[in-house]
Structure 1
């Protein structure tokens, strides 16, 4: 057995070389490692003997780059060995994560020299790391205690410690880390391995299987991200409980409603008995995951984030001359991504992007444009290239949508247990072929019972008892070769099957005409009901009464409905509470959106108010609006109603929508919204003229 002593940088270079089938240049390696090309060449001089000792040959090919060559057994053995040996040094971000894990895993002080020795750095280096961690720890409701002769520890409520561990896991681990099946734990990066230990990999998979089997209908109401976050939080709790870290009696856990029947079934499936405080904690996590959003927007970003995204899309659009502002998916995806990503940067949490080098190579010009745009628009943060890479992926997906297949492809993902392997594949498909619409994860038993009209293609991670033209088998990692295989299968088999037969019936092979007519009726009923009550109200305000709070009662009264009239004060309070979470003035306009979902609202409502003077939309007077679009919905609106309301809110990012709401009358605005929603329904139903 060889003994490998490599620094963190050398390990990263080796991992890049071992994972590449094609050549990679020293400049590309330097870009992802974050150093100079000269340094890479110097490191390669030390790396080459390590590789040779493991039976691996390093080839340097002029004009092409660097490549390793070895038999599969030698490669596998070397990968296992290099990960089995701790690196000689960790990066600053890796050190901070390991320090947090060490302190959170102990309920007594840890000596500073012990931390330094474990990380192979000096005590002043650890002291500097702790200085940078202190603010982030405080934000989580915990205290970093440091005293000479005493040591270092993190104190505070057990619930806050669990939240911090969950935050680290959510921000640092990939879906492939938490859902992937690692047969050999020695191939996992030490930091990843430590976080997986804190989460409890075994607990995570056990929970995932239990929740999947226990209540599939309940699980299906959660988004993929919400489901994963819940699994991580529950798994962290189980792991902490197993190590004896319990929530103290009398702790304030909140008063989340308890569904003891579901909770008891879950605990029985896990063969677990918990103290009352822990049961309440589990109930609160489940309740938070189930809690419906009080907003009607399909994104939940603050307006500064929305403004940054809008300006960035406009910046890129002007330089590549492509109609990106019309792509609602691009705006929504960036809004949902950038807010938590920027928060991670503010918190000093490392951002990994293993795709950075291929992104720079495949989208070099786009990367440069996005980099320049972020530099010009984001002044309060230093955004690393890793994050720019993720942003570029959103733009790259938008460009791919402009050269889609002749029609969208609805794909069903099949796996044999849980969503583990299929979730990995879903992430890869979304990145590589965004024109494929993933309509759900199913077991083979479930997929076999789906009407064929509801999907075009089955993608499976296992062999299925079907004809070759009915499905395609792929690995969860979706290699470059498999991406080409999937594209070829769609173009050569799936699309040909879906081509309309020349039988005069016009059957497209998707939904039947009756299916489409029924869906059209459902969507149309919601649209007509919403637009029938839409009105534009031109109002005058006094100069000393320009605060939204003072005008809301009159605005609600003008709706003229019994449910709003009887509960006007309560609805106004909910609107104000939502508004205080962040300004809702559309960037570069005098149009604002106020919205809420309420138990006091019977049916969805839409109304536009125009004032002769700007209304103050914030306490400090920093934002104001002359036009206010009010959107109200029931606490639990139907699927189609919520979809229509969400689509209208998303339309506010489009300049022509703002223009229509600013200058049109009631009839013209109704016509405009009707036209936009007609296009939306045609796209949704894939209904071609």
Structure 2
């Protein structure tokens, strides 16, 4: 911005009497809301006036203020920052929307604290028509393709509603990283159903062994084959795969793994293989 500003005045494309139509009442309000940033802009433009040997219009300070206010600056204590109702609303709409589309229960407070500090300057960029380049975009789209598409869908709906425009992929990529970070730190647990013939003692023993060797699994229930058959559609919606001690042909539409009731070493290896396949398929 400063490089272009200097070039304009050096090459005579901006004159002292030039009218700045972009500066309006809202820009002056922005000045008073961000007094510290304006003080910085004031110093820089005054220094540039001396450097160029001509007095620059006051409007240039507002333009520079918009860039400063649209940058991603970090503060030591973000809890002291005041966010407008608009910023909070947009942030929450994005979090709730991505949660609904992805089916992932995000920690709202944790994500809100991080994301809101990004949304505030983002909204300023949108209002001031400032574009940024995301050099990580290709990597983000390749590494987090599914969540990128989901974030893009939600964010564009939110910004279309609030500002009648969609964001470019560069901005979407930055927002995606917040959700990707949460997913990396909190991988969703694979849900498993344990199914035995009928023996309660055997079933509970198997449950304990599975939990011991695979604490990352979420054991939804321990049931008999008869119970499963009665509520087949319900259980198929609740789990990702089934561990069973019962040999049967095509018990479920879900992946099913036959194991020994004692859950031996070979069973543990087979569960690991199953988990690898499920994770490769996005579970």
Q: Which has the higher contact order (CA 8 A, sep 6+)?
A: 2
Higher helix share: 2
Higher strand share: 1
Bin the TM-score by the shorter chain.
0.3 to 0.5
Calculate the TM-score normalised by the size of structure 1: 0.20
Calculate the TM-score normalised by the size of structure 2: 0.45
